């Protein structure tokens, strides 16, 4: 830093936790809101999708509003309704299949399937946007391939285990047969064996 140069520190915008409004802007009542479930429609790509969502309703005048988290949830519900209607992968299904494949993180799945970009996976599992049909097909193909691979591995593992127990069982059986033969031979020596020991 040159002499005489000043260090300018930019003031940071205060970042507190989000606080939902408590006073009604319509009738000025304090602590006016209660959470209620409403049946309504979410608009997405020109389609009206029936959804049941939560919102804040004023106890005094009936004025309603959505808090920031409720807005996010309303979008998520509309996205999910659209995906179900159009037979696209939902956020929940993608997450469920990822975890069933044994991938704890989105990064792990993206590493296993290089055609699935981590950004795509993050967006889809966040459930705030509908994926393109091409992306959906690609993702389904990759998931199906990984699931088939997993199934083959499980079958192989099962067969190996079965083979081992069969071998193990056969060995036990063999040992028993040998002991029985020896015991039987000692008790009732056959003429050949009797001759051999005499
Ligand atoms: Zn009010």
Summarize pLDDT for 33-45 with one digit per residue, the tens: 999 999 999 999 9
Q: Please give the distance, rounded to the nearest whole angstrom, from the Cα atom of residue 53 to the centre of ligand 1.
A: 20
Q: Please give the distance, rounded to the nearest whole angstrom, from the Cα atom of residue 32 to the centre of ligand 1.
A: 6
Q: Please give the distance, rounded to the nearest whole angstrom, from the Cα atom of residue 63 to the centre of ligand 1.
A: 5
User: Whole-angstrom Cα distance, residue 37 to residue 95?
Assistant: 26
Q: Please give the distance, rounded to the nearest whole angstrom, from the Cα atom of residue 65 to the centre of ligand 1.
A: 10
Q: Which residues face 54 on adjacent strands? A: 37
Q: Please report whether residue 83 resides in a domain.
A: yes
Of 115, 117, 97, nearest in space to 107 by CA:
117
Which tokens is 175 given? 């040992």
Where residue 194 falls among pLDDT bands split at 50, 70, 90?
very low
Residues in the chain: 198
Q: Please report whether residue 115 resides in a domain.
A: no
Q: Report the CATH number that the domain containing residue 39 is assigned in CATH.
A: 3.10.20
Q: What is the pLDDT of residue 30?
A: 95
DSSP assignments along 111-154, one per residue: HH-TTS-HHHHHHHHHTSSPPPHHHHHHHHHHHHHHHHHHHHHH
Number of domains in the chain: 1
Q: Please report whether residue 72 resides in a domain.
A: yes
Q: What is the pLDDT of residue 45?
A: 92
Q: Please report whether residue 73 resides in a domain.
A: yes
Question: What does the DSSP 8-state code read for residue 28?
Answer: -
Residue 192, phi then psi, degrees to nearest 5: -65, -50
Q: Please give the distance, rounded to the nearest whole angstrom, from the Cα atom of residue 142 to the centre of ligand 1.
A: 51
Q: Please give the distance, rounded to the nearest whole angstrom, from the Cα atom of residue 26 to the centre of ligand 1.
A: 5
Q: Bin 4: left if φ > 0, else alpha if -120 < ψ < 50, else beta.
A: left
Q: Please give the distance, rounded to the nearest whole angstrom, from the Cα atom of residue 43 to the centre of ligand 1.
A: 26
Q: Please report whether residue 31 resides in a domain.
A: yes
Higher per-residue pLDDT: 192 or 163 = 163
Of 155, 172, 90, nearest in space to 129 by CA:
90
Q: Please report whether residue 187 resides in a domain.
A: no
Q: Please give the distance, rounded to the nearest whole angstrom, from the Cα atom of residue 126 to the centre of ligand 1.
A: 33
User: Whole-angstrom Cα distance, residue 76 to residue 62?
Assistant: 25
DSSP assignments along 178-194, one per residue: HHHHHHHHHHS--HHHH
Q: Looking at the whole model, is its pTM more than 0.85?
A: no
Q: Please report whether residue 171 resides in a domain.
A: no
Q: Please give the distance, rounded to the nearest whole angstrom, from the Cα atom of residue 198 to the centre of ligand 1.
A: 113
Q: What does DSSP say about strands 33-44 and 64-65: parallel, antiparallel, or unpaired?
A: unpaired
- Structural domain range at position 58: 20-87
Q: Please report whether residue 13 resides in a domain.
A: no
């Amino acid at each position: 830093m040159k002499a005489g140069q000043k260090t300018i520190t930019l003031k940071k915008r205060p970042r507190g936790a989000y606080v939902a409004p408590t006073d009604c802007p319509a009738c000025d009542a304090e602590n006016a809101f209660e959470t209620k479930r409403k049946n309504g429609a979410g608009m997405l790509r020109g389609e009206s999708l029936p959804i049941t969502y939560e919102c804040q309703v004023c106890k005094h005048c009936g004025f309603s509003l959505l808090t920031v988290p409720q807005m996010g949830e309303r979008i998520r519900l509309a996205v999910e309704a659209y995906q179900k209607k159009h037979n696209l992968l939902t956020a929940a299904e993608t997450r469920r299949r990822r975890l069933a494949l044994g991938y704890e993180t989105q990064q792990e799945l993206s590493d296993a399937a290089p055609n699935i970009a981590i950004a795509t996976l993050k967006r889809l599992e966040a459930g705030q946007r509908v994926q393109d049909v091409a992306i959906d097909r690609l993702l389904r193909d990759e998931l199906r391939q990984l699931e088939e691979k997993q199934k083959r591995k499980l079958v192989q593992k099962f067969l190996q285990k079965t083979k081992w127990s069969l071998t193990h069982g056969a060995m036990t059986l063999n040992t028993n047969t040998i002991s029985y033969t020896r015991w039987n031979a000692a008790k009732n020596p056959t003429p050949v064996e009797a001759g051999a020991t005499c």
